[in-house]
């Protein structure tokens, strides 16, 4: 991006921006609000008061789930649990979602590893529901967020869908007497999806990035390649702006960009990540151990 002299002059007036270590969200907020002067990227709606909050990135603030023994949660589960716990919804689907995974300070991490989900389903987080009744597969007419937090129900989304009959039976159980099922509204939003585009990682104050980039064909396109495009026209690359240095303190940094073969296949297979750590490539280990910010873009396919 090109920033005008006037804009950079404005940035230099912001106290501590250049001479103090800042968290990524602080720098991003300065860029969005003070440099680019854009409207907030995200708007959240409180499910109880309907109050709207507008922010540039979503910080997932959670305690460890006492009902779960997972050592590597994924961002879909973390985001959904954060929204359900705080009774939040997206007021509208974002074009760009910056998701900060749970951390506490610069040194402590809530989880040793976090798996960036390659796609996020936002239908329920915008108020919609999906598919069929959890019990009988009929069309859902109710949804229950508290059932999502109950480990008896392994729903992928932010609320467990039920038909009227099953909802009544399930919530007749004494353990679910405090649940308050809602009518399943906005079913047209069930297909809302976002795709992982980049991940910013941090380790000992050193930032690196993983980016999903389109593959440039080595030869000019032909009619056959136009008619039958590759199954996955993207690849993942690793970027480190300070991978090496020339000239000591007075010198300069040497960046690197490296391809990460099969990264997406590893991200699609969490069981393999957990049980084959010795065979897991270092670039995959670094991604799930040091992930801080996940960048998602709206899927329009």
Which pTM value belongs to this model?
0.78
Q: In what order do the strands lie in the sheet with 52-55?
A: 52-55, 42-46, 88-90
Q: How many CA atoms lie within 13 A of 162 on its CB side?
A: 22
What's the pLDDT tens digit per position in 96-121? 999 999 865 455 678 888 999 999 98
The single residue listed with the structure tokens 């993942």 is 236
Mean pLDDT (the chain) is: 81
> Which of 228, 200, 205, 215 is closest to 287 using CA atoms?
200
> Which of 230, 186, 232 is closest to 91 using CA atoms?
186
What's the pLDDT tens digit per position in 144-193? 888 877 767 766 566 788 899 999 999 999 989 889 898 876 554 555 78
The whole-number pLDDT of residue 5 equals: 41
pLDDT beyond 90 at 2: no
Asked if 288 and 117 count as a contact pair (C-beta separation under 8 A), the reply is no
């Amino acid at each position: 991006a090109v920033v005008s002299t006037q804009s950079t002059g404005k940035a230099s007036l912001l106290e501590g921006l250049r001479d103090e270590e800042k968290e990524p969200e602080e720098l991003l907020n300065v860029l969005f609000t003070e440099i680019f002067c854009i409207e907030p990227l995200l708007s959240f709606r409180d499910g109880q008061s309907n109050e709207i909050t507008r922010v540039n990135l979503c910080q997932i603030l959670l305690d460890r789930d006492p009902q779960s023994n997972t050592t590597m949660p994924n961002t879909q589960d973390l985001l959904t649990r954060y929204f359900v716990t705080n009774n939040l919804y997206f007021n509208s689907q974002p074009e760009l979602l910056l998701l900060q995974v749970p951390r506490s300070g610069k040194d402590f991490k809530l989880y040793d590893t976090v798996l960036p989900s390659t796609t996020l389903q936002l239908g329920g987080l915008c108020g919609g529901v999906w598919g069929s009744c959890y019990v009988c597969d009929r069309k859902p007419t109710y949804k229950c967020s508290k059932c999502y937090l109950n480990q008896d129900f392994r729903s992928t989304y932010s609320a467990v869908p039920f038909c009227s009959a099953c909802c009544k039976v399930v919530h007749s159980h004494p353990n679910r007497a405090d649940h308050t099922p809602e009518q399943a509204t906005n079913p047209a939003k069930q297909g809302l999806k976002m795709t992982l585009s980049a991940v910013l990682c941090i380790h000992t104050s050193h930032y690196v990035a993983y980016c999903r980039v389109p593959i440039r064909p080595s030869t000019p396109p032909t009619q056959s390649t136009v008619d039958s495009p590759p199954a996955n026209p993207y690849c993942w690359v690793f970027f480190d702006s300070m991978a090496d240095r020339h000239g000591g303190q007075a010198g300069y940094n040497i960046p690197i960009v490296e391809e990460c073969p099969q990264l997406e296949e590893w991200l699609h297979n969490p069981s393999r990540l957990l049980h084959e750590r010795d065979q897991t490539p270092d670039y995959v280990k670094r991604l799930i151990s040091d992930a801080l910010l996940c960048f998602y873009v709206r899927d329009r396919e």
